[in-house]
Amino acid sequence: MVADPDRRGIGRLFDEVPELYDRVRPGYPGELFADLVAVTGIGAGSPVLEIGCGTGQATRSLAALGCEVTAVEPGEGMAALATRRLGEFGNVTVERATFEEWGDRGRRFDVVVAASSWHWVDPAVGWRRAREVLRPGGWMVLLGHVVVRRPGEPEVYAETADLHEKFSPGNPDWGHPPTEAEVRGSDRGWGAVDDPGGLFDPPIVRWYPTVQWFDGAGFAELLRTQSLCRKLDPAVREPLLDAIAERIRTRMGDRAARRYLSVLRVGRRAD
């Protein structure tokens, strides 16, 4: 993945709908955080840096472990909502900045975490900075979700492909999800991001099947939080999403599965 000059602008599209994002985006399973603790040894008092915390979905789980979390988020709306939602914790500080421009002020961390956010960071800067702010022996952690399909189950993208082509023709990003087996067999290492080039050891990779169920209106709301839809002109986006919601109601019994493999990638800083 090369640095994309539009990366930052596309990433900030989420800041237009922070409340909706917080409500409909999938969280991370408790088993994932239990494994994170088992691998890294973090716990009460461990200094953790989270990059691109969004509305604080992963941050809440880190805070509940007792970690001292510094959460960096560039979006004004997302950072404000995260600050409100995390107010019950006394061990979280939200700082508004991009990771590339964030001032570490000499602070060093046991773990650096990026939950569904690392692909928005400039790889020419991100890996090096992450290593710099980690203590010797510290850990880099990437969390994410990969959308998958279950063979034999009605799949919402297949059922609505003609609508995507009708309202946003030729858009190459509307895709057909892989199966769980295909992902497990091919998505190794640090995943679909630039390789750190020796700055970190090869990661431990673990997968966690999860699912969200939506009615037509709910699935349209989920799509409203995704960059692929948010960057469409509203005159295109809203009729498209209305049509998708109606298709789910009429062809899928108003019930659509959004299946994921949540993923944990943990690699130690190479010293």
Q: At residue 30, does pLDDT exceed 70?
A: yes
Q: How many domains does the chain have?
A: 1
Domain hosting 96: range is: 7-151+179-213+259-268
Give me the pLDDT at residue 6, please: 53
Q: At residue 42, does pLDDT exceed 90?
A: yes
pTM, whole model, 2 decimals?
Answer: 0.90
Whether residue 95 is contained in a domain is answered as yes
Give me the pLDDT at residue 13, please: 62
Q: Buried b / exposed e across 78-115, counting CB within 10 Å, b at 16+? A: bbbbbbebbeebebbebebebbeebeeeeeebbbbbbb
Structure tokens at 141: 């952690």
Whether residue 43 is contained in a domain is answered as yes
Task: Report the distance separating Cα 51 and Cα 5, nearest Å.
Answer: 19
pLDDT-wise least confident of 140-149, 182-191, 240-249: 182-191
Give me the pLDDT at residue 192, please: 86
Whether residue 16 is contained in a domain is answered as yes
Task: Report the distance separating Cα 242 and Cα 34, nearest Å.
Answer: 40
CATH label of the domain that carries residue 130 = 3.40.50.150
Whether residue 119 is contained in a domain is answered as yes
Provide the H-helix boundaries in 89-214.
Answer: 123-133, 156-167, 180-186
Residue-wise pLDDT for 59-91, tens only, equals 999 999 999 999 999 999 999 999 999 999 999
pLDDT-wise least confident of 25-29, 30-34, 94-98, 132-136: 25-29
Q: Which helix (H) or strand (E) holds 22?
A: helix 18-24
Cβ 58 vs Cβ 113: under 8 Å:
yes
Cβ 258 vs Cβ 212: under 8 Å:
yes
Whether residue 17 is contained in a domain is answered as yes
Give me the pLDDT at residue 231, please: 86
Structure tokens at 130: 């992450």
Q: Which helix (H) or strand (E) holds 6?
A: none
Q: Report the mean per-residue pLDDT for the chain.
A: 91
Whether residue 124 is contained in a domain is answered as yes
Instruction: Count the neighbouring beta carbons within 10 Å of the beta carbon of residue 2.
Output: 9
Q: At residue 7, does pLDDT exceed 70?
A: no
Task: Report the distance separating Cα 127 and Cα 199, nearest Å.
Answer: 7
Q: At residue 2, does pLDDT exceed 60?
A: no
Residue-wise pLDDT for 141-183, tens only, equals 999 999 999 998 888 988 998 999 999 888 766 768 999 999 9
Whether residue 247 is contained in a domain is answered as no
Whether residue 79 is contained in a domain is answered as yes
For range 123-152, the mean pLDDT = 96
